[in-house]
């Protein structure tokens, strides 16, 4: 079974692209959603977070103390790198389990991850797609969606590789510009992947 990675900068519309693949019957693994879940379910990861960031990283009921973690990692690149070094391998494990449980006749699966290239997980995929969108459009979408200001969006963007960097690692590009059809681009790639999977 082929493994296809999908990524894109914040506000690029990668989730929308994944939803189109899902309507075609292709299973999608949402790495960022899973990362949040396994921080309270993966025993190896939980132990690592407790040892690295202190026992106050979790509340009595086992839920994650997001504020405590955020206060440590968001102001400090070194601490953020430590957190990523714990979370990324746990997400890789979760993806492998998920992928192994898919029906054997599934032609390909998709791994959607914001930090696909940054985390190195693109190397575990057979092909990788980059979703792009005009810079100002991305800012507008994210400020509306998350109720944040432009400076906050730009700060988040700074934590990710630029589209130029990602383009060098991507095998395919889906343009989410006002005059492009995401559906047609996905259908085109879907046919290519079905051929590759044969």
Residue where one domain finishes, among candidates 68, 86, 101: 101
Same domain, 75 and 93: yes
CATH number at residue 162: 3.40.50.300
Q: Let me know: does 23 contact 148? Beta carbons within 8 Å.
A: no
Same domain, 113 and 188: yes
Q: Which helix H or strand E contains 128, and what residues bound it?
A: strand 127-132
d(CA 6, CA 171): 10
Same domain, 143 and 194: yes
Q: Let me know: does 140 contact 57? Beta carbons within 8 Å.
A: no
Same domain, 121 and 23: yes
Nearest Cα neighbor of 111 from 102, 101, 103, 124 is 124
- The range of the structural domain enclosing residue 188 comes to 1-27+108-198
Q: For the chain, what is the domain count?
A: 2
Please state the φ and ψ torsions of residue 107, each to the nearest 5 degrees.
Answer: -65, -40
What pTM was estimated for this model as a whole? 0.88
Residue where one domain finishes, among candidates 65, 82, 101: 101
Same domain, 136 and 97: no
Same domain, 36 and 91: yes
Please classify residue 133 by burial: count the beta carbons closer than 10 Å to its beta carbon, then call 0-12 exposed, 13-18 middle and 19+ buried: buried
Residue where one domain finishes, among candidates 60, 80, 101: 101
pLDDT in tens, 136-167: 999 998 899 888 889 888 888 887 888 899 99
pLDDT in tens, 61-117: 999 999 999 899 877 889 999 999 999 999 999 999 999 999 999 999 999 999 899
């Amino acid at each position: 079974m082929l493994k296809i990675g999908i990524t894109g900068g914040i506000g690029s519309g990668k989730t929308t692209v994944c939803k189109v693949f899902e309507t075609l019957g292709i299973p999608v693994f949402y790495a960022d959603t899973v990362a949040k879940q396994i921080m309270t379910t993966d025993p190896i990861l939980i132990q690592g977070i407790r040892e690295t960031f202190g026992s106050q990283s979790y509340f009595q009921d086992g839920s994650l103390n997001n504020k405590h973690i955020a206060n440590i990692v968001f102001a400090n690149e070194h601490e953020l790198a430590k957190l990523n070094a714990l979370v990324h391998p746990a997400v890789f494990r979760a993806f492998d389990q998920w992928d192994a449980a898919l029906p054997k006749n599934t032609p390909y699966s998709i791994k959607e991850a914001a930090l696909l290239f940054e985390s190195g997980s693109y190397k575990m995929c057979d092909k990788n797609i980059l979703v792009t969108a005009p810079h100002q459009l991305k800012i507008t979408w994210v400020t509306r969606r998350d109720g944040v200001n432009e400076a906050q969006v730009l700060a988040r963007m700074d934590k990710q590789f630029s589209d130029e960097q990602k383009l060098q690692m991507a095998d395919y590009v889906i343009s989410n510009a006002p005059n492009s059809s995401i559906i047609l681009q996905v259908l085109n790639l879907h046919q290519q992947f079905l051929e590759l999977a044969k």
